[in-house]
Each structure stands twice: as C-alpha cells, then as structure tokens.
Amino acid sequence: MDAASLPGVPDAFQRLWTPHRIAYINGETSPGDGQCVFCSAPGMDPEESLVVARGELVYAVLNLYPYNSGHLLVCPYRHVANYDEATVEEVAEMGAMVQQAMRTLRAVSGAHGFNLGMNQGKVAGAGIEEHLHQHIVPRWGQDSNFFPIIARTKAMPQLLGEMRELLRESWLTDFNG
C-alpha cells in the first residue's frame, strides 16, 4: 500500500477546515420551511437578517458566503429566476440599487473597484438559481494576496454583523435623503 493513500498522512498542502460550508454545498441552506432564502430574508427579524437596504421592488442583502467583506446581493422581492423574466421596473430599480450599493461601499469601506455580475443557471455558476440576484463585490488594490491563490483561503477583515451595521447606517443617512 502506498503511504500517500493513508488517511492523515502529511502532504504539501495546508488545510483550512470549514465544516459550516457543507450545508451550503449540500443545498441545506434554505429555511426550515423549505422556502427560498431570498424570499425569506426580507421578512426576517432585522437583527437576524443580513438585509441592509429595501426598495419598493428590490432589496440589498449581504452574502452569507462572501468573496470579500461587503459582498452584497441585490434581489427582487418577487420570486423570479432569470433576468429576462424581471419586469422593466424591477430591472430599473435593481440598477439604481446597485449604484447606491457601490456608493455606500465606497463610503464605508473605501472600495477601489467592484466586480458586478449575475450567474444565470447552474451551468453558469449560480449557487441559488431559483431566485434572481446580482452580486456587488467590493475590491481593493492588492486584495488578492497569496492566500486565495496558494492556500485557497480568503482573509475576511470584517464580520458580517459589523459590515451590516455600517452599511445600514450609511445607506439610511447618506443616500436616502
């Protein structure tokens, strides 16, 4: 038997064990009642929810599994899967909410740039393909250090709850008049 095939034999890789992510991988992240997480989020207790801003047709929520601190999702309240199924009004409000999210993230975190995107369908990388959502990922100069590339580890400098409060406070006072 080859020693490298034995469990627990050291190799050249460091491992960051993240057992909490298995629920996401297994698709077990929906609420206990089986409802869509994006349909449930707006109705949750504000202190337990990651919703940071609400519009008439869409809302902004922090990503529970962020690529960077402040990674937001803009979702319509209506349960719709694809961008081309959204109404003209939903698309317009999503665009305005994305702009507002970018301004807020610059104000609270000094973001230098953003990755914006939508993954439509499982084959395109959608983790939750049943409910439309647009990603707003803040970026900073040199924020891609060696961790994600070498160790597949992301350093997150701010807790979700702290970022939620910063965004809520700034969104309400600086951009909603």
Give me the phi and psi of 42, to 5 degrees please: -65, -25
| CATH fold for the domain made of 32-175 | HIT family, subunit A (3.30.428)
Structure tokens at 74: 């803009």
Check 20, 79, 131, 133 and give the catalytic one. 133
Cβ-proximal residues to 66 (8 Å cutoff; 6+ apart), any chain = 137, 156, 160
Q: What is the pLDDT of residue 4?
A: 55
Q: What is the pLDDT of residue 22?
A: 60
Contact 111, 70 (CB under 8 A): yes
Q: What is the pLDDT of residue 159?
A: 80
Q: The dihedral of CA 52, 148, 158, 45: what is its sign?
A: positive
Q: What is the pLDDT of residue 71?
A: 94
Q: What is the pTM of this model?
A: 0.74
Q: What is the pLDDT of residue 79?
A: 96
Q: What is the pLDDT along the chain (177 residues), one digit of tens a residue?
A: 555 565 655 655 555 556 655 655 565 555 556 689 999 999 999 888 999 999 999 999 999 888 888 999 999 999 999 999 999 999 999 999 999 999 999 999 999 999 999 999 888 888 889 999 999 999 988 776 555 555 666 667 778 888 888 888 888 665 544
Q: What is the pLDDT of residue 145?
A: 56
Domain ranges of the chain: 32-175
Q: What is the pLDDT of residue 126?
A: 82
* Active-site residue, 133 included: yes
Terminal C-alpha separation, the chain: 70
Angle of CA points 77, 104, 24, to nearest 5°:
50
Contact 36, 130 (CB under 8 A): yes
Cα–Cα distances in Å, from 64 out to 14, 72, 103? 24, 9, 21
Residue 170 parent element (H or E): helix 160-170
Q: What is the pLDDT of residue 177?
A: 41
**Percent of residues in the chain assigned helix, strand, coil, to nearest 5:** 40, 15, 50
